[in-house]
Amino acid sequence: MAINYICRHCRTFQGRIESKDVSETQLGFDSLTTEERRDIIAYDFNGEVTVRVTCDHCREALEAHPELSLLTSPLQ
Per-residue pLDDT tens digits for 20-68? 888 889 999 999 999 999 999 999 988 889 999 999 999 998 899 888 7
Residue 50 has a pLDDT of 96
Query: What's the whole-model pTM score?
Result: 0.82
Q: How many residues does the chain have?
A: 76
Per-residue model confidence (pLDDT) at position 72: 67
Q: What residue type is assigned to position 24 of the chain? A: E
Separation between Cα atoms, residue 24 and residue 63, nearest integer Å: 29
Beta bridge pairs of residue 49: 3, 43
pLDDT of 66 = 85
